[in-house]
Amino acid sequence: MSAIQPPASRVWWRQPLDRMEIVWIVLALIWCLVMFFMMPYWHVFGKQNLANEAYQTTPEAYLRKAQEVVDKYTVRKETEQQIPVVRPPAGSDVYLVARLWQWWPILELEAGKSYRVHLMSTDWLHGFSLQPENINIEVHPGYDHVITVTPTRPGTFSIICNEYCGINHHTMTSKLYVK
């Protein structure tokens, strides 16, 4: 039998298996099972995947909540666009809005304190990437993504969009301050 010619018998799956074929099938099945069980194991014990929540919402409702936080906790404004810098109290909910081509507002958090960070896009898919920590989350429009973060060290961290979102995608950057 050749690969070019059709098989002599159309019922090819009823042909007896060679011993080496059985060995490879068993090895592939074992490897698939190992990989299948490693995914939840690394999610729980690997400390490299964030457990997050996502809720369906509307841009109007989300922007209203974000504006309330900005109005209440703004400490100063930065950049040419006068983006507010928000310093919320520890344990509170903070809102970060992704929109063409900007992250709004800038967050200033305290090291060692936990915060619930809400992320939402008001237009289309963006990517939230916190560098150098290598935290990556897809931010979908219509969904409020919530992650609980506890910054461990002070510094200035970069937030970039890592999902192509249009002609000015390369300018969609921001900062996160940890004091």
pLDDT 10s digits, 93-123: 999 999 888 898 999 999 999 999 999 999 8
pLDDT digits (tens, 9 = 90+) for 16-74: 888 999 999 999 999 999 999 988 888 777 766 666 788 899 999 999 999 999 999 98
CA distances from 97 to 10, 35, 105 (A): 59, 36, 7
Dihedral over Cα of 153, 111, 116, 176: its sign: negative
- Name residue 177's amino acid: Y
- What the block records as the tokens of 47 is 């400390």
Residue ranges of the domains in the chain? 52-178
Position 8 pLDDT exceeds 90: no
The CATH number of 52-178 is 2.60.40.420
pLDDT digits (tens, 9 = 90+) for 116-160: 999 999 988 999 988 888 788 889 999 999 988 889 999 999 999
pTM, two decimals, is 0.72
Dihedral over Cα of 44, 146, 126, 83: its sign: negative
